[in-house]
A and B are shown apart, each in its own frame.
Chain A
């Protein structure tokens, strides 16, 4: 489908415009930089919602497609377009951005560089996030995939706390390593496409390539490892807790909430559609890694003494669920995984934002330094509690719908994986309730007697996040209706159909 309005390009350029505007401001005018950044992210969010209203949800083709020749001699195009899955992830990115700006109003000061630079980096990152989910040219995707490391690197290394430089380098090296493997696969794809009719980087065209199974397996691994590091999946996870611990709250929210989803999104968009046979070959191994991630991440979260690391490990558990849902290859698993990506962004985002406020008030991220906050700061305590309930997927909150879809979608094809994954549900109760008890319950411990409760700005930032968590728990249809056709299409492309109920052989439906 073509559109008269270049929706995606406009959406991607808007944050850059804001960044340019901030760059033109005086360095001392910090408030103006913040306001411009907040205003820009709001405009982008509004534009994205307007675009989503135009989306034809029953149309499984890519929509808002734009194609311009970029480097014709190599067949590289600036080609963008979205299906339901990409649209949902773009919405997630642009909705979280203004919340991150508002919630972390003061976290940009005290960094290595100016406040101005912080917001420029943030807005550039927003452009990259929109780009990486919209690209339909593999080369363009790669460029965004790698280029988004730059603003994140500077955001962690320049504005974080503690061992921020080391964490930033670790993040960078890890991602670069994955990126290089993917690059090798991309080159090979390009070569193969040349042998089979014409050089191209177009995702749809590449999905029709003929490959020997060995080639497919190798190329698949190149993509998959890059995405498994990004997601991250066990055992490629160790960069995430370090990065999350050192980054500012806002950066962590974007890192865990959005950037990591590039990994799971990449698995759907590239691993599954480009290499359906290799996907089948590796599915058992990947499911094992996913199940290990669920359980391992949960145990590690239980064992953490630092709020930020705890949340990072819960995310590793959650990414295990998402990966399991993707590779279960059922419509419930797939729709559930994409919905999970969206819901996880909000629920972990909320958890990180509130934890960040607690940490900045107390001046420590050690769980043991808190105690009795329910009496001192009731609103903050409630916000943390609700975010925690969402993290353990309490029915009635959004993450329950996605987690249950993943589990039931996995069960119909891989019952053992689903049953083991269900143990993660019990562990989730522990990794949420243990910090809740330590920090919010019990007597008020020294140092916490006079912490201030959330101020108006913080309440305005967290309220919409919690509202979305509750609303989508009871009424997930607006998102599911967009996701379902794309998810079903992806599975059909990969050559799978949903397993039938086992009684169908006997009685019919």
Chain B
């Protein structure tokens, strides 16, 4: 085992992680640990843009942006956080431009902006041009630009290192640590993919920026590597997860494949049509039609299909129509996504509409943090030195439904805040005491998994999990379907105890890591389903057919899910608690578009 010592260790090298690294590495000794090479991170797959009220093309202000974010999140947004995000968005975009990001430009040479779902002028009057973009590869440009700056600053990266444990000064997982007692982070334990060696990273501050967990679903726009590692590690160590039942289904995934086609396609004028050729969004959102927030569009699409108005031989998808747009316009603004349609479905978007269907896209929930990105271990106490930013965190700026482009904003605004806060904290404190035998848990897990001679295949369990989640916990949910999902997950968790991997080696053992990732997925799926069962209302990305309306009386609050030992020895269960929503200016109203 090798030991490293850094003031700040950042886990994850996507947008949030690298944005944090840029702040932190200039101030204190910083390491970034990533399970991939930084440029492989899924930030690069984001397409449409990053909203900020620059008002470069039309009147706009950050307060309208705040309102849209709050309303888009169906009022479950913590409004103090949304205000910060909308306000700091402007500087975040300008920061990126000054780092060299090649934004599209207006005729005057300023950053160009375009329309995006749910973003409106003057509290919902009409769609507004707020999204700053670089063709339909804004995320790619952000990831590349941040990596370039990291190269410039000579940031220390540990590539292809899997963080498998976070070390805390007290064991929170038993639930016995009293509120108010100080708990501090002391480092992380990582597995080096190339050699199979265990590395102990001792740190004063740890920033989690590990991204989402889309792989709990089968149809997803997420990368194979998005297995919710950071969330699950926190959960295992007794830190709660907030609002995990809210998962965003992006309306326009390529049908059958789940590959994302940006909302920018609709921002640029694309229209959704059902099997009869009808522009059905006019019925669901008369004012902003196809540019309604994602939860509404996704549900409307699923409803069209369910009521037999789908397109295609099996009437199981709807169509994204770009044929009325000029090919030159499509090439200039949407080159990549039209390429996806050609490559994967053999469809020419100039002349044919593209088959689309909702695809699991984004976890609104995550590790709870305050506005300074400090991780909360209950409703009020922070874990000293532990920070989280990006999709892994729940600040909560997205509430029950994230608006398009707000994730790229989230990673930049809160990534930056996390980097500054982590460095500032590390500069003032001494090294926290390491637990005795800090790598014991990770070594035990790995050896158990590797040494199991025969057993079930990881892929079988994962497939069953993903199929059950797609079937039972997707756009439409009921008590019955969720109960089924929970039973499936519990059964799979039992079977997980007997999985075995075929690759017994140390060198680049991805087989072993897929097995560990499956463990994360199973635990997170359980949190999603338990939270969804308890939330007997419909709000944002969470739609219960048996409770189709929003119930502010009972559920205007965040879900806090804790993993605690159950009465059966050696097993755990999810216990739910609640946290109040912070409201500053906007009182909940009915959400109409």
Partners in one complex: no
